[in-house]
Amino acid sequence: MNADPARRRKAILLLALLVLIWGVNWVIAKMSLAYISPIWVTALRLLPACVLFFSLCFFTGRLRVPVRADLPVVFSIGLLHMVGFSVLVSIGIQYMTAGKSIVLAYTTPLWVLPAAWFFLGEKLTRRKLTGLVVGMLGLVLLLQPGELDWSDRDVLIGHGFVLLAALLWAGSIVYGRAHKWVTPPFALLPWQMLVGGLTQLVLALAIEGLPQIKWSVEFLLLVGFNCLLGNGLAYWLMNVVSRDLPASAVSMGLLGVPVIGLVCSSLVLDEALGPALLIAAALIIFGIILGTTTPRKAHEQK
């Protein structure tokens, strides 16, 4: 990681842009469903982004053919995150508000804690356990009968799919930690996108048939944002900020995504931000902070 102050300041600005794009992208994804079915939404934004990334890697001399040792991580991230997470969220968000879906989806770091302990042998410290408990309290508040109509099948499907999406994302993160990378992660990204995009295409054709699109200028703008900014530019930004900023700073910065998503869902979609949702979001974010950061004293002792 480069310690140059100017480069660091630039990385912080790029991280802020990334947070803004990903926060707004949840609202864009919700709005896109008025024009096209959910699985086709994911395919139409990932496949063009895949072409963009292959071109970027080719013209910058970073295109690599994955070696056999890296194929498991190509398929695990491509299928668990880019297919499982994206498709389940796209289906689930039909039956719930964008704001609530983003809070549910961003419970992912909480699920990583016990999974990393169980599968990777990472120590589950008292601080991590406290963060997990605090975050789970937020999740319980979000799913309690006063906030969720348990008799409505569609509501249960929506919440269940988004929660399952968070678990799949956590699985891809844990596998990514365990994997012994041979090829740089950025060079594998277009291949992961190719696996994800082609799988989404097959699923869309098999489940939803040929796309039924309500063509309009707004639809093209929504898909363009989703594809070029929400996938293409965002993944490039993530690569840059991960290189130039500490992992802890990036993780903390990304907690701004659900905050931006909640604000945008209220302003653009006129979604109500009730006290239970705001308290639940605060508990989940605080739980993630506790569970994924190290106290300053521990850093100093190292």
Please indicate, yes or no, if residue 28 is contained in any of the structural domains: yes
Specify the pLDDT at position 146: 81
Q: Which two tokens stand for residue 243?
A: 């290189």
Please indicate, yes or no, if residue 23 is contained in any of the structural domains: yes
Please indicate, yes or no, if residue 300 is contained in any of the structural domains: no
Where are the alpha helices (H) located in 97-207, listed in sequence order?
98-105, 108-120, 126-143, 153-178, 185-203
CA 263/CA 253 separation, integer angstroms: 16
Please indicate, yes or no, if residue 164 is contained in any of the structural domains: yes
Specify the pLDDT at position 45: 92
Question: Whole-model pTM?
Answer: 0.91
Please indicate, yes or no, if residue 301 is contained in any of the structural domains: no
297: pLDDT strictly greater than 70:
no
pLDDT band at 9 (very low <50, low <70, confident <90, very high): confident
Average pLDDT of the residues in 248-269: 90
Specify the pLDDT at position 6: 83
User: Pseudo-torsion of CA 171, 174, 179, 183, nearest 10°?
Assistant: 80
Name which residue leads in pLDDT, 241 or 134.
Answer: 134
Q: Which two tokens stand for residue 225?
A: 């944002």
Per the prediction, the chain carries an average pLDDT of: 91
Please indicate, yes or no, if residue 298 is contained in any of the structural domains: no
pLDDT band at 27 (very low <50, low <70, confident <90, very high): very high
pLDDT band at 298 (very low <50, low <70, confident <90, very high): low
251: pLDDT strictly greater than 90:
no
CA 158/CA 55 separation, integer angstroms: 36
Specify the pLDDT at position 72: 95
Average pLDDT of the residues in 193-209: 97
For 178-200, the DSSP string reads HS--SS-HHHHHHHHHHHHHHHH
Other beta carbons within 10 angstroms of residue 161's beta carbon come to 22
pLDDT band at 235 (very low <50, low <70, confident <90, very high): confident
228: pLDDT strictly greater than 80:
yes
Most confident of the following: 56-60, 126-130, 142-146, 289-293: 126-130
The label of the residue with tokens 């605090």 reads 134
Please indicate, yes or no, if residue 151 is contained in any of the structural domains: yes
24: pLDDT strictly greater than 60:
yes
For 216-260, the DSSP string reads -HHHHHHHHIIIIIIIIIHHHHHHHHHHHS-HHHHHHHHTHHHHH
The closest of 234, 110, 120 to 163, measured between CA atoms, is: 110
Three-class SS state of 65 = coil
302: pLDDT strictly greater than 80:
no
Specify the pLDDT at position 7: 83
40: pLDDT strictly greater than 90:
yes
- Note the pLDDT tens digit of each residue in 151-173: 899 999 999 999 999 999 999 99
State how many domains the chain has.
1
177: pLDDT strictly greater than 60:
yes
245: pLDDT strictly greater than 90:
no
Please indicate, yes or no, if residue 77 is contained in any of the structural domains: yes
Domain that holds residue 206: 5-293
pLDDT band at 292 (very low <50, low <70, confident <90, very high): confident
Average pLDDT of the residues in 14-40: 95
pLDDT band at 25 (very low <50, low <70, confident <90, very high): very high
Burial category of 34 from C-beta neighbours within 10 Å (exposed 0-12, middle 13-18, buried 19 and up): exposed
